[in-house]
């Protein structure tokens, strides 16, 4: 057992990349300002000193070319990790991700593979407003051929990033920008967490909260408050949206009989709808004592003003209220 | 020994004769596709490269086996020139399980990764950054191969073109961009869609050489591409080659060709046919007789007829493969 060493989420991501680059010459990173600047959020700080500018490759501001070059490099034997400066910019790289990376193995009849990881900071909370604050994971989760990961802790991020780098498929790896500075236990040695395995972040008996990314932390805080009122909350973090570990969610719902699904992304068309439907289609439906409740962002672009910005996405008090509505129904 | 014809050093007389045969294969392949498409036996859509045989055959002729290409939605010629089997290509267009993509890709998605063909592309300009990534692998792993990136005049107005060429230029990547300017991006005449006289002129904006070449002259294609490939192999970075050519057929099946005249079409067909032009040179240089030329043409025709037979006799894909190969 390692000592209880603490790292920030950001350091955990960096450590994983560095460790993988040390052992595998095929792994390299590229993106905007990831060299001396260290990336928009400082994730790659110091890496160019160790690995040089060939393997920590500063690119022009050209998202389509970055993503496309990663596809070409991956098809020909490299294992590129792309840092896309803000997940909003996935819109500019979408052809290469959606039409090329995700499709080419299938449409070429099973020939070749595209082992690339696209890491990107998502989510609101920094006052960066509408074009730098979105949560677009449901877009990517909709596309066959992609895998989509959304880790909520540094521990999960390090283990899942290693799994993503080792995976022979294109993986979109969403890092919530407000989680970068959060600290937690992260083992020093390399380790891999399975892609497609949910994590039970808290055990409980009265209600299941399925939460992703930063909402895991808000749900954990809400659970502490709810416990004071005698409500026992179980929190499931899917961690990976594609593939999704629906079994763990179903088992939990069968145990608690009540479920609240919460994510930061806009509720309409959001991934919460998928989770709710899968629960409703499963045997857990017969165990439900209340309708499935969904919480998500309002259907507005993320506003600049901090009060409005907070109001656009679910907060701890919204989760508490939703749980109470669910638990005290009838 | 080749004396009077200016060709790159690796091009032997035997190779020239093979290329002549290959151009016929490309022509007959696409004419056959046209015919079966009209009969409803090939579904979806197709983009034929009849008339553009010299740019595919000439450019790819100077490559080594290890070199790679990316192709376009008008890519049957590139595939054949990079060594694809016409049987498996035709089977793919017929949607059969024996096709290159087991019937899942069709005309626009033929890839032959083992032979260095990284795939055709249904997205205009979609393959350009991919070619840059392939060149990046070659540079990083010191593999020494060059990637030829084909695209059309229409793609030169896509953002991916500008982003990818700039990236390849700043990193000195071993890639050669070959714009097959066939005069029309679907129905859009290049003269209305591009302000510069030549698409190759845009190379100056990226600090790389730009070369205009007669895309219907296979010898010129070979020489210009050879020079660009050698440059890339020496680590001097990319070149933008613009091959001026013409597609004899419409953009795809739905094209009534209202945007161009019959006279224009006939001019290219009668006076600038790349196969006829090559034949005249080979005969005048004594590398080929009229009879041999006819025999090679007939052989190519037979090969394509056999490919159709192979395709027709091949089984449809079993429904079980529907969900295979989404993930590696």
Strands in B146-235 per DSSP E: 147-152, 175-181, 184-185, 188-189, 210-214
Is B109 within 8 Å of A108 when comparing Cβ atoms? Answer: yes
Q: CB-side exposure of A301: number of CA atoms within 13 Å?
A: 8
Q: Among all chains, which residue has been given the structure tokens 């376009």?
A: B72
Out of A28, A74, A107, the one facing B104 most closely (by C-beta) is: A107
Give B114 to chain A, closest Cα distance, Å.
Answer: 9
Candidate from B140, B167, B324 with C-beta closest to A78: B140
Per CB-CB distance under 8 Å, the chain B contacts of A168 are: 328
Average pLDDT for B294-310:
98
Q: Is A196 on the interface with B (CB under 8 A)?
A: no
Tokens of B156: 């030169």
Q: Are B175 and B146 in contact (CB under 8 A)?
A: yes
Q: Is A142 a catalytic residue?
A: no
Rounded-to-integer distance, Cα B170 and Cα B273, Å:
38
- Arithmetic mean of pLDDT, B259-276: 96
Q: Does the pLDDT value for residue B270 go beyond 90? A: yes
What pLDDT is attached to residue B47? Answer: 94
Mutate to test the interface with B, among A21, A72, A115, A148 (most CBs of B within 10 A): A72
DSSP code for B316: P
Report the distance separating Cα A210 and Cα A157, nearest Å. Answer: 18
Q: Is the CB of B325 less than 8 angstroms away from the CB of A109?
A: yes
Nearest one of B11, B53, B4 to B215, comparing CA atoms: B53
pLDDT of residue A317: 98
pLDDT of residue A132: 97
Pick from A24, A73, A105 the residue to mutate for testing the B interface (most B CBs within 10 Å). Answer: A73
* Closest listed residue to residue B242, CA positions, set B189, B162, B183: B183
Q: How far apart are CA B245 and CA B269, in angstroms?
A: 11
Q: Are residues A109 and B102, on separate chains, in Cβ contact within 8 Å?
A: yes
What does the DSSP assignment read for A112-124?
-----EEEEEE-S
Taking only the tens of pLDDT, chain A with its 330 residues reads 456 899 999 999 999 999 999 999 999 999 999 999 999 999 999 999 999 999 999 999 999 999 999 999 999 999 999 999 999 999 999 999 999 999 999 999 998 999 999 999 999 999 999 999 999 999 999 999 999 999 999 999 999 999 999 999 999 999 999 999 999 999 999 999 999 999 999 999 999 999 999 999 999 999 999 999 999 999 999 999 999 999 999 999 999 999 999 999 999 999 999 999 999 999 999 999 999 999 999 999 999 999 999 999 999 999 999 999 999 986
Give pLDDT, residue B5.
86
Reply yes or no on whether the pLDDT at B305 is more than 90: yes
pLDDT of residue B3: 64
What is the predicted pLDDT for the residue at B2?
61
pLDDT at B4 over 80: no
A323 contact B CB<8A:
no
Chain B nearest CA to A193, separation (Å):
18
Please list the alpha-helical segments (H only) found in chain A: 9-23, 47-55, 63-75, 94, 104-107, 137-141, 154-166, 214-228, 246-256, 271-281, 306-311, 316-327
Residue B181 in this model has a pLDDT that exceeds 90: yes
DSSP 8-class letter at B317 = P
> CA of B123, closest CA in chain A: separation in Å?
8
- Is residue B255 predicted with pLDDT exceeding 90? no
* Cα B312 to Cα A73: distance, rounded to the nearest angstrom: 37
As a whole number of angstroms, the distance between CA B288 and CA B294 comes to 10
Cβ-Cβ contacts under 8 Å for A214 (sequence gap 6 or more): A123, A125, A152, A176, A178, A179, A264
| Percent of chain B whose pLDDT exceeds 70 | 99
> Nearest Cβ partner of B119 from A63, A64, A104?
A104
Per DSSP, the three-state class of B189 is strand
Stretch B155-182: mean pLDDT, rounded? 98
Q: Which of B323, B281, B279 is nearest to B297 (CA)?
A: B279
Of A59, A73, A105, Cβ closest to residue B137 = A73
Contact of A130 with A308, CB cutoff 8 Å: no
In angstroms, how far is CA A76 from the centroid of its own chain? 27
Which residues neighbour A269 within 8 Å (Cβ) at sequence distance 6 or greater? A138
pLDDT at B45: 87
Query: Is B63 in contact with B318 (CB distance < 8 Å)?
Result: no
- B81: nearest Cα among B121, B30, B38, B130: B30
Residue B69 to residue B182: CA distance in whole angstroms? 19
Radius of gyration for the alpha carbons in chain A, expressed in angstroms and rounded: 20
**pLDDT value for B225:** 98
Task: Tell me, yes or no, if A78 comes closer than 8 A to chain B by beta carbon.
Answer: yes
Q: Over range B60-85, report the average pLDDT.
A: 97
User: Collapsing DSSP states into helix, strand and coil, what is residue B104?
Assistant: coil
Nearest CB neighbour to B163, from listed A62, A70, A104: A62
Name the band, by pLDDT with cuts 50, 70 and 90, for residue B160.
very high
| Residue B53 contacts residue B217 (beta carbons within 8 Å) | no
A and B: number of Cβ contacts within 8 A: 149
| Cα separation, A289 vs A327, whole angstroms | 9
Note the pLDDT of residue B253: 77
CB atoms closer than 10 angstroms to residue B262: 8
Inspect the interface and report whether the beta carbons of B134 and A72 lie closer than 8 Å: yes
In DSSP notation, A44-69 reads: TTTHHHHHHHHHEEE--S-HHHHHHH
ipTM of the complex: 0.95
**In the prediction, which pLDDT does A59 show?**
98
Report cis status (omega within 30 of 0) of the bond before A246. no
In chain A, what is the straight-line distance between the N-terminal and C-terminal CA atoms, in Å?
48
**Contacts B68 to A, Cβ<8 Å:** 76
pLDDT of B168 strictly over 60: yes
Chain A residues whose beta carbon lies within 8 Å of the beta carbon of residue B166: 60, 62, 65
């Amino acid at each position: 057992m390692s000592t209880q060493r603490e790292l920030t989420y950001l350091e955990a991501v960096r450590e994983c990349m560095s460790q993988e680059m040390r052992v595998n010459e095929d792994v390299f990173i590229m993106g905007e300002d990831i060299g001396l600047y260290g990336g928009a959020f400082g994730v790659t700080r110091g890496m160019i000193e160790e690995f040089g500018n060939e393997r920590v490759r500063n690119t022009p501001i050209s998202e389509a070319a970055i993503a496309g070059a990663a596809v070409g490099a991956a098809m020909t034997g490299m294992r590129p990790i792309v840092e896309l400066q803000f997940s909003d910019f996935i819109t500019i790289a979408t052809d290469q991700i959606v039409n090329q990376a995700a499709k080419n193995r299938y449409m070429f009849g099973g020939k070749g593979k595209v082992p690339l990881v696209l890491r990107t900071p998502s989510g609101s909370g920094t006052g960066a407003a509408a074009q730098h604050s979105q949560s677009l994971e449901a877009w990517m989760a909709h596309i066959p051929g992609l895998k989509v990961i959304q880790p909520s802790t540094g521990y999960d991020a390090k283990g899942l990033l290693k799994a993503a780098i080792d995976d022979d498929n294109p993986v979109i790896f969403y890092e919530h920008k407000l989680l970068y500075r959060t600290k937690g236990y992260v083992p020093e040695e390399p380790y891999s967490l399975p892609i497609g395995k949910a994590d039970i972040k808290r055990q409980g008996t009265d209600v299941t909260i399925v939460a992703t990314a930063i909402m895991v932390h808000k749900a954990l805080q809400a659970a502490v408050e709810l416990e004071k009122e005698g409500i026992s909350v179980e929190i499931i973090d899917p961690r990976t949206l594609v593939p999704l570990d629906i079994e763990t969610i179903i088992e939990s719902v069968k145990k608690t009989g009540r479920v609240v699904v919460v994510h930061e992304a806009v509720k309409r068309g959001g991934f919460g709808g998928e989770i709710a439907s899968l629960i409703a289609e499963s045997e857990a439906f017969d165990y439900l004592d209340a309708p499935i409740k969904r919480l998500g962002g309002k259907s507005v672009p993320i506003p600049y003003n901090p009060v409005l910005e907070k109001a656009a996405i679910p907060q701890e008090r919204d989760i508490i209220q939703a749980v109470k509505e669910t638990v005290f129904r009838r | 020994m080749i004396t009077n014809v200016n060709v790159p050093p690796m091009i032997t007389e035997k190779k020239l004769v093979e290329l002549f045969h290959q151009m016929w294969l490309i022509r007959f392949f696409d004419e056959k596709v046209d015919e079966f498409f009209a009969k409803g036996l090939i579904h979806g859509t197709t983009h034929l490269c009849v008339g553009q045989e010299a740019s595919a055959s000439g450019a790819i002729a100077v490559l080594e086996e290890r070199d790679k290409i990316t192709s376009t939605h008008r890519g049957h010629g590139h595939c054949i020139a990079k060594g694809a089997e016409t049987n498996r290509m035709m089977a793919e267009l017929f949607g059969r399980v024996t096709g290159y993509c087991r019937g899942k890709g069709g005309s626009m998605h033929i890839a032959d990764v083992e032979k260095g063909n990284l795939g055709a592309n249904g997205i205009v300009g979609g393959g350009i950054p991919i070619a840059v990534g392939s060149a990046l692998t070659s540079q990083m792993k010191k593999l020494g191969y060059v990637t030829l990136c084909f695209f059309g005049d229409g793609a030169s107005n896509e953002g991916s073109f500008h982003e990818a060429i700039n990236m390849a230029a700043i990193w000195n990547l071993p890639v050669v961009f070959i714009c097959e300017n066939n005069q029309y991006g679907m129905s859009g005449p290049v003269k209305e869609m591009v302000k510069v006289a030549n698409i190759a002129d845009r190379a100056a904006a990226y600090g790389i050489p730009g070369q205009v070449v007669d895309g219907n002259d296979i010898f010129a294609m070979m020489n210009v591409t050879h020079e660009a490939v050698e440059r890339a192999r020496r680590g001097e970075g990319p070149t933008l080659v613009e091959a001026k050519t013409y597609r004899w057929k419409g953009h795809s099946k739905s094209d009534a060709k209202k945007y161009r005249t019959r006279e224009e079409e006939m001019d290219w067909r009668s006076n600038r046919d790349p196969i006829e032009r090559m034949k005249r040179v080979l005969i005048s240089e004594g590398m080929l007789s009229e009879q041999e030329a006819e025999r090679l043409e007939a052989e190519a025709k037979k090969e394509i007829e056999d490919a159709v037979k192979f395709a027709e006799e091949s089984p449809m894909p079993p429904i079980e493969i529907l969900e295979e190969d989404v993930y590696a």
